[in-house]
Structure 1
Amino acid sequence: MSNSISQEFKFFSLIRFALPTIIMMMFMSLYTIVDGIFISRMVGSLALSANNIVYPVANVLMAAGIMLATGGSAVIAKKIGEKKEKEANENFTMIILVGVGMGVLGMVFGNLYLEPLCRLLGATDALIEYSAAYLSVILYFAPMCMLQMLFQSFFVTAGRPKLGLGLILFGGVANIILDYVFMGPAGMGVSGAALATGIGQSIPAAAGILFFAFRKTGLRFAKPKFDGRVLGNSCFNGSSEMVTNLSTAVITYLFNIIMLKLAKEPGVAAMTVVLYGQFLFNALYLGFSIGVAPVFSYNLGAGRKELLRRIYRISIRFVMISAVVITAAAWAGAPLIAQVFMEKGTEAYELASRGGTLFAFNYLFAGTNILASGIFTALSDGKTSALISFLRTFVFIVAAVLVLPRILGADGVWLSIPAAEVLTLTVSLPCLYSYFSKRERRMTSFD
């Protein structure tokens, strides 16, 4: 099977291969950010706070999709490397069907318990109407959201990352245009923002169905054959990415509750803006990790030890260089980012501007931790990947966010994630060194 993931990669060829996925992930993050800009400017900061209050539900949906996408992609890319094409296609189809089923369950049960769910997440009387209106529409598009998450990984595995990028860009442009139409002339408020996001997600989802259904060679839909072992391996391999998004839901909830106590609704609005910056900048690292993952998996299956080491060294260099650039941009641009969403001089603006400058330091360390988790997923070492991800996105952040605000007030909230990233680095770097050291203690499994 001829596939671009089998090429002899060097620095620039690997970056070029991963670039479409990087751009795709960053553009996907803009779905949420653009919604936030239109909501804040056309409805108000209360509506922006309400949007963030219910965002943990979207995190849960994305967690399931990313788990199947990254874990399943690793399993299937490895089988492609082993020349097991028929099995790869059968497993791929099964994973897609399972993902759609999860989306349907989320849509049904989420809407059945809509208002209690919003209250549970912290929606106050001032926020409940906005929160319920936005979440209800988002949930109706849950199956399409799942498909979009799945296809963005499997387009890369199929050797067509540029097609995935093109579809995401098209869906993103549609989202931006429809945000204006639905929230401006149509006057639909936050429901319009959610509808625009759902339609933007549906475009790559529908196109992905057509692509894999009518493709004659390579990765494509086939008669599904349920394989509990493959599904279990996919879920286990992708568990770290699932943990990342589930913990993001928990952390967002904790941040919202703490900021409501410290600074009321303006505090939640400021936190929303800072997290938008995180979505965008971390999307670069996540996109790179997803983009190179099939390359790691393929070369693992093909037993190409030297190329695997080279890809690892290139990946680390790219992340370290980009980390410095992103941190500087985030630190310097924090006031400007805040001003995009809210009027300069308001309480929410001052909180977001201050928070953004402190929060920026997490980008020095986040990229290495995200890459480490993604590499171990691609190498079918779900245990190590899950450990890194769980510590990074849950244990260390929860500890920091529960302790630092008691000492530093609101500044402690902003510094909790940088502190968690530093602590995670003490785990992820030794794991990477152990696996890729010249002593080849673990590389012998490729022979």
Structure 2
Amino acid sequence: MTIQLSEHFTYKKIFRFALPSIVMMVFTSIYGVVDGTFVSNFVGKTPFAAVNLVWPFLMILGAFGFMIGTGGSALVAKTLGENKKEDANRYFTMLITLVVILGILLTIFGLIVVRPLSHALGARGQMLEDCVTYGRTLMIFNTAFMLQSVFQSLFITAEKPRLGLIMTVAAGLTNMVLDALFIAVFKWGLVGAALASGLSQCIGGILPLIYFLSSKNDTPLKFVKTKLEGKILLKACANGVSELMTTVSSSLVSMLYNFQLMRLAGQNGIAAYGAVMYVEFAFIAVFIGYSIGTAPIVSYHYGSENHNEVKNMLQKSFKIMSVLGITMMVLAQILASPLAKVFVGYDKKLFDMTVHGFRLFSFYFILAGINIYASSFFTALNNGMISAIISFSRTLGFETLAVIILPIFLQLDGVWLAITVAEICAFVISISFLIAKKEKYHYA
């Protein structure tokens, strides 16, 4: 039975509604993980380091789709909650059109700057060429990647999370199969890895577009005549800017991590960080997927002024995130060795560095889910400013300072512990805003 946004949500209903989004995000994270696994084991350590060096830049370009998806879906869900269906469809159409245009422009920009940027990050010789090869090939599919990010959120708003899940699982499976075929069988190297991810992104981004355009679309969201509405567009982008800032900040911080690790441990440091981050992508995807999956519920009830349900979602979600955070940390400690072996088991020194680093790094999971949800919660309430402050402080603010300062005293261990220190500081910010705004939004 389909769960509607207007219902009261018990723990069971929350999990049923959010599960497709969680699985969607886990499968989305698989792109980089699968590419990294095949590249590391079949192409080599230098290409693997090159993928890790250029990947944050590719994520920054794709993050604009995530911004429009989360901010736009919150606005559309709130508008549906206000029973303004025609306005919701107009906003929906405008946002998708914007993504396509912006995706093309960002692709052109990325193709031009990937070489000088890779050089500025320290890539030289073959590593530089590998960065350019992988980056330019995957960048061709940036518009599809952005559309995929948008539709992940909009499928939930359209009350079709399972269909969104099917699309994403199909994309993830395609990526796995094509990676094996292009890299292991055809020996296409980095070009094969990029093509595998790019083609799977087309399934996750283009097929949903076709569905919403088709006569089989039985959701509340339809493509209609629209025009550029600057005020609405600005509101959607401002509302989703925290998600953009999260990805951009995380990507910029990843570049800083790579710089510090190159300085402290050389190419092995970047390869170890890459392996840690691939596993972290899959773990953190659970938190992000839950936040994306439940945000339209909060937006809908906020729009319909059902304050009790907004309070219900906040209380239950904080308990869920706390349990998940502790569970993730324990799993990371237990699985550090076998997971590292998947990526870098062929090199003993690199393997030992990766296991040690991941075990220190994993303590940040305890608070990460709460901070991610707090930011998403304010996005759902259409308060993009507070959401952005939380996201900005936990990544570009606190984490940047930590990754610069801690290695001075702790050397390489300081790099691995930086993110935990940043999450502790961000937790204080999150709780402070939740307390300060409880009267305005009536959730306490």
Secondary structure of 1:442's match? helix
C-alpha deviations, 1:65-115, integer Å up to 9, x for none? 111011111111000000111111111111111111121112112223332
1:275 corresponds to which residue?
Answer: 277
1:109 corresponds to which residue?
Answer: 109
2:146 corresponds to which residue?
Answer: 146
Tell me by how many angstroms 1:345 deviates: 5.3
Tell me by how many angstroms 1:216 deviates: 5.0
- Pick one of 275, 298, 308 that aligns with 1:296: 298
- Pick one of 343, 359, 373 that aligns with 2:345: 343
1:239 corresponds to which residue?
Answer: 241
1:131 maps to 2:131: yes
Distance across 1 between alignment mates of 2:176 and 2:58: 19
C-alpha deviations, 1:134-170, integer Å up to 9, x for none? 0011110011011101000000000000101111001
Distance across 2 between alignment mates of 1:130 and 1:445: 51
Distance across 2 between alignment mates of 1:195 and 1:335: 30
Instruction: Give the TM-score taking structure 1 as reference length.
Output: 0.96
Is the 2:31–2:175 contact (alpha carbons within 8 Å) kept by the matching residues of 1?
Answer: yes
1:374 corresponds to which residue?
Answer: 376
C-alpha change, 1:375 and 1:201, in structure 2 (3 Å) is same
Tell me by how many angstroms 1:4 deviates: 1.3
1:9 maps to 2:28: no
Distance across 2 between alignment mates of 1:185 and 1:395: 44
Distance across 2 between alignment mates of 1:354 and 1:335: 9
Amino acid at match of 2:440: R
Is the 1:38–1:180 contact (alpha carbons within 8 Å) kept by the matching residues of 2?
Answer: yes
1:39 corresponds to which residue?
Answer: 39
Tell me by how many angstroms 1:217 deviates: 5.0
Distance across 2 between alignment mates of 1:213 and 1:171: 20
1:171 corresponds to which residue?
Answer: 171
Distance across 2 between alignment mates of 1:343 and 1:287: 30
Tell me by how many angstroms 1:120 deviates: 2.2
Is the 2:74–2:379 contact (alpha carbons within 8 Å) kept by the matching residues of 1?
Answer: yes
Identity %: 37
Distance across 2 between alignment mates of 1:384 and 1:132: 37
1:286 corresponds to which residue?
Answer: 288
Is the 1:182–1:192 contact (alpha carbons within 8 Å) kept by the matching residues of 2?
Answer: yes
Is the 1:65–1:99 contact (alpha carbons within 8 Å) kept by the matching residues of 2?
Answer: yes
Distance across 2 between alignment mates of 1:53 and 1:306: 46
Amino acid at match of 2:213: A
Distance across 1 between alignment mates of 2:12 and 2:435: 23
Distance across 1 between alignment mates of 2:351 and 2:45: 10
2:254 corresponds to which residue?
Answer: 252
Distance across 1 between alignment mates of 2:319 and 2:424: 18
2:441 corresponds to which residue?
Answer: 443
1:324 maps to 2:329: no
Unmatched runs of 5 consecutive residues or more in structure 1: none
Q: Where do residues 205-216 of structure 1 align in structure 2 (5 Å cutoff)?
A: 205-214=205-214, 215=217
Distance across 2 between alignment mates of 1:271 and 1:176: 22
1:398 corresponds to which residue?
Answer: 400
Secondary structure of 1:6's match? coil
2:425 corresponds to which residue?
Answer: 423
Distance across 2 between alignment mates of 1:361 and 1:416: 10
Amino acid at match of 1:223: K
Distance across 1 between alignment mates of 2:336 and 2:210: 41
Distance across 2 between alignment mates of 1:172 and 1:217: 24
Tell me by how many angstroms 1:424 deviates: 0.4
Amino acid at match of 2:146: M
Distance across 1 between alignment mates of 2:220 and 2:203: 22
Tell me by how many angstroms 1:430 deviates: 2.2
- Pick one of 217, 222, 226 that aligns with 1:220: 222
Is the 2:71–2:236 contact (alpha carbons within 8 Å) kept by the matching residues of 1?
Answer: yes
C-alpha change, 1:42 and 1:336, in structure 2 (3 Å) is same
1:313 corresponds to which residue?
Answer: 315
Tell me by how many angstroms 1:185 deviates: 2.0
Is the 2:63–2:146 contact (alpha carbons within 8 Å) kept by the matching residues of 1?
Answer: no
Aligned length: 441
20-29 or 217-226: bigger deviation:
217-226
Tell me by how many angstroms 1:3 deviates: 7.2
Amino acid at match of 2:232: V
Is the 1:75–1:234 contact (alpha carbons within 8 Å) kept by the matching residues of 2?
Answer: yes
C-alpha change, 1:11 and 1:193, in structure 2 (3 Å) is same
CA RMSD, Structure 1 to Structure 2 (Å): 1.5
2:388 corresponds to which residue?
Answer: 386
2:98 corresponds to which residue?
Answer: 98
Secondary structure of 2:89's match? helix
Distance across 2 between alignment mates of 1:394 and 1:426: 16
Secondary structure of 1:127's match? helix
Instruction: Give the TM-score taking structure 2 as reference length.
Output: 0.97
Amino acid at match of 2:392: F
C-alpha change, 1:367 and 1:307, in structure 2 (3 Å) is same
C-alpha deviations, 1:392-434, integer Å up to 9, x for none? 0111001000000111111000000001000101110122233
